[in-house]
Amino acid sequence: MKHNFGAGPGILPHEVLKQAAEAVIDFNGTGLSLLEISHRSPEFEAVLNEAVSLVKELFSVPEGYSVLFLQGGASTQFALAPYNLLPEGGKVAYLETGVWANKALKEAKFFGDVEIVATSKESNFTYIPKDYTVPADAAYFHITSNNTIYGTQLHQFPKSPVPVVCDMSSDIFSRTVNVADFGLIYAGAQKNMGPAGVTLVIVKDDLLGKTGRKIPAMFNYQVQIEGGSMYNTPPCFAIYVSMLTLKWLKAKGGVPAIEVENDAKAKVLYDAIDSNPLFKAVAAPEDRSHMNVCFVAENPEHEKPFLKLCDEKGIVGLKGHRSVGGFRASIYNALPIASVNVLIEAMNEFAEKN
């Protein structure tokens, strides 16, 4: 058995993988593969409609918001957010908490002025800035809810005088969120929702159509809403697997239930790191991510032999990002606490031997 701590594409529920594999051969008894049926067929339209319905149910999406399944990854949304929300000559505000936040604000500079309200760059993004003021004249305030590379997470979302835009790619559906507090939420699927290839967008309708610019159809949220996420051929398989994963999450008790599991996994793993003399967590304690647990070996020479031990025990995907080093245990929704316990046992065994 493998214990998949990879940062992304991340682990998916086994039952979802099994259903998806069957659908590749014969989708719902049609005699056709899901990969070859028309996206305009009643069978796939039912999949897309159910996926949208599950997002609305699991996240309690209020009236006045639209749910989209789009292509291009969350990185495309770095540009589409300002393209659709920032008026000509306007300004936006960004909180810089890591690589992805930095890439997002760089894209926004193509469309207007960008004010970085706070940054933790000077500490290699080991904490989330707290003391800052969001300018009331900004079109929106952009945040990244969880930082996969550095292992930090916003545990409380900031109050803002302007609409909040949030990249939730790495912690979407991992904890309860009040969607009404946001103007736009976007998330790549490949952490907690499905495979790479589809991106979830939840946008407040009354924010759209106010930029004063012409937007090409594929990049225009309003066009995509009118087309029901099918202005062109959507990523059918990725949407189907996402739908299955959302059904799995609902059957487990929804987001509140998985949040309890995720908090428990994070606590037991951080406690193990903090009590082990050979390892040290990277992020500030109050900002530690419940999705991506980043830690290092006190002695850098222990890094390779510990990874070798992990490999022997079927623990994969643990090597940290090159900008941080060390180790990164991504404990997404589908990762069972049993796998976390295997990692802890490996850490304790390594400490006893060294």
Task: Give the other-Cβ count within 10 Å of 311's Cβ.
Answer: 12
**309: nearest Cα among 275, 351, 267:** 351
Question: Does residue 82 contact residue 59 with C-beta atoms inside 8 Å?
Answer: no
Q: Rounded to whole angstroms, how far apart are CA atoms 195 and 193?
A: 7
* Active-site option among 100, 171, 204, 265: 100
Q: How many CA atoms lie within 13 A of 276 on its CB side?
A: 27
Q: Rounded to whole angstroms, how far apart are CA atoms 104 and 106?
A: 5
Q: In 3-state terms, what secondary structure has residue 83?
A: helix
* Active-site option among 26, 103, 167, 263: 167
Q: Where are the alpha helices (DSSP H) in 153-235?
A: 221-226
* Active-site option among 18, 131, 191, 248: 191
Residue keyed to tokens 């929106």: 140
Query: Residue 102 class from Cβ within 10 Å (0-12 exposed, 13-18 middle, 19+ buried)?
Result: middle
Q: How many CA atoms lie within 13 A of 71 on its CB side?
A: 9
Question: Does residue 184 contact residue 328 with C-beta atoms inside 8 Å?
Answer: no
Residue 171 falls in the annotated catalytic set: no
Residue 308 falls in the annotated catalytic set: no
Question: Does residue 238 contact residue 194 with C-beta atoms inside 8 Å?
Answer: yes
| Cis, bond preceding 9 (omega within 30 deg of 0) | yes
Residue 191 falls in the annotated catalytic set: yes
Two tokens at 3? 């214990």
Catalytic residue ranges:
100, 167, 191
